[in-house]
Chains A and B, each alone.
Chain A
């Protein structure tokens, strides 16, 4: 035993080395396996990430649709839900294309709303497609009402994601952040649907009436689903 003790340091060194050699050997043998495993795991991560994104997208869509549904129930009006499938090709006008048309009961001048409020009105309709003129388009005009003081006017689009309410009396006390809703006079949209919030109040250049610039209630650049009110 004492002879062996003499060799103890050497045994220790060799033993340590042998484990290193064993590890090294294992790592060479296992390298291919690890590579394969790594590749598989990467693929799995990619798959799961794609699935996670799809699920997140479904969750967000679900939330939007829930909000739209509750808005539809609150409106108590017969309407058709539609997806936005395209936007105007030109920078001069602001329209959107919907995936529903005449076959689904959509008619020209049907009001289009979203969970936040008024979006616009249908100006062209095909069998399964409809074009909606947004409230921010310069050709759009709808009767509006300042919610706080009940003064009515005409809301027209001025482009650049803004609209303006015109023909308010000169002594109007309309102020910033006042909400403007549809008045129901124009027969396009039912009364009480939010159009926008006042950003700035100015006097008409001719000095005959007051007008107020509005920020639409609905983010028109981002809408994906809408409700078309059946006429």
Chain B
């Protein structure tokens, strides 16, 4: 029991370096898979994985930290990703309790809609506090392609993370 508890905490702490690693990959290597200026959001994929698997509170904490890290690595107004990722983590935790996200199709479906929601939150906050963008433009060039690409990449991310966090 004590041993299991130690493993439990080690796994939660291990998420931090993984978030940092994913952030570095996001700004460097992922450019190689850039399609029409859009790349998959692997940090969001990570938040979705832990949200679906560990629940809303873990999703919120991991979302908060991942969003904060992404804010550091991006040129967008600071705090929007922290906010949208934290909310997305909670929603992922909630959806993970309702739906069984183990089959590839279910993962794709849930990842797409949660990523879509994340982008909508981002769009609303960005439009309110920063630069006004047209919804049709954002939908066509960012929200939809990015949600699809993130959902597709989540299959690989989920596979890797599932192997790494098998017992939990």
A131 CA / B71 CA spacing, docked (Å):
13
| Chain-A contact segment, one of B1-9, B36-44, B50-58, B102-110 | B36-44
- CB-CB under 8 A from A133, the residues of chain B are 75
The smallest beta-carbon distance between A119 and chain B, in angstroms, is 14
The smallest beta-carbon distance between B75 and chain A, in angstroms, is 3
- CB-CB under 8 A from A19, the residues of chain B are none
Give the number of residue pairs across the A-B interface with Cβ within 8 Å: 64
Neighbour of B74 across the interface among A95, A139, A160, CB < 8 A:
A95
Given contacts A138-B131, A138-B133, A161-B37, contact A89 B73 (CB under 8 A): yes
A131 CA / B73 CA spacing, docked (Å):
10
What residues of chain B have their CB less than 8 Å away from a CB belonging to chain A? Answer: 23, 26-28, 31, 34, 36-39, 41, 43, 70, 73-76, 81, 122, 126, 130-131, 133, 137, 141-142, 146
* 6 smallest beta-carbon distances between A and B, as pairs: A95-B75, A89-B73, A86-B27, A90-B74, A89-B74, A93-B75
Question: Which of A85, A88, A91, A95: most chain B CB closer than 10 A?
Answer: A91
Is A92 touching B122 in the complex (CB atoms < 8 A)? yes
The smallest beta-carbon distance between B84 and chain A, in angstroms, is 10
Produce 1/0 per residue, A104-141, CB < 8 A to B: 00000000000000000001100000010100011100
- CB-CB under 8 A from A159, the residues of chain B are 37, 137, 141-142
